[in-house]
Amino acid sequence: MSETEGDSVGLLAGKNAIVTGSARGIGKSIVELFAQNGANVWACARRKTDAFEQFANELACQYQVEVTPIYFDLLKADEMRAAIKAIMSTKRRVDVLVNNAGITYNALFQMTTRERLLELFEANFFSQYVFTQYVVKLMAREKSGSIVNIASTAALDGTPGRSAYGASKAAWICATQTLSVELGDYPIRVNAIAPGITQTDMVTESMTNEVVEDTIGHTAMKRIGAPSEIAATALFLASDLSSYVNGQVIRVDGGM
């Protein structure tokens, strides 16, 4: 069954998913793959654009699902609450949450300021931690759910120049493992993905060509990953194929 036929594979048929950071890169690929697999998606982005509206409309028409853009800044509490109210107003249950939004920053330890640390942790962890608290309340009512947190291999490998960024993603790994236990009684599963170097704007804007090539050279598969490859793992964790997978961190890195 090809994608061009507009048929859903169906791994998420009838499910409803929230995906943050949907405007580009990994998040956009996750929205597309989830829609292809039958999910209705609340595609969260910081700002409205004609291109993103068109992307959502085209997916909805192609796969006969609902792809609803939700615009809000995760760093603004009032906008976050308004987004949750908009989701609740649809009267649809929330089956899946993918915490994908985030920013990156590369600098040596001695060159990293307190302001940068606060910015990274607020964007990559604090804001989405609070957002997840709201969503878990909705999932708990239905006694089910799957949460997928997008972390990073930088949280696991001690990569030079990425101590601050890696630490902000490591916080998600710790939260993933703890929440998988705390929420198990509902039961809500919580897992994380740790992507390696992936072909996204965030990577190309934050790394020099030399660093990218060096990283690829230390990867067993000798290539950069595609956002769709991260999305495929998110699909697995969101679907019932992973119904007994909980509290795990799955590296998708080509063998780094």
Positions annotated as catalytic residues are 165
Sheet with 67-71, side-by-side order of all strands: 67-71, 40-45, 16-19, 96-99, 145-150, 188-195, 249-252
CA atoms within 13 A on the CB side of 60: 14
By C-alpha distance, which of 146, 19, 9 is closest to 64?
Answer: 9
Q: What is the CB neighbour count within 10 angstroms for residue 249?
A: 17
Contacts of 150 (CB under 8 A, 6+ apart): 21, 26, 98, 99, 100, 102, 172, 192, 193, 195, 230, 234
The answer to whether residues 129 and 149 touch, using CB atoms and an 8 Å cutoff, is no
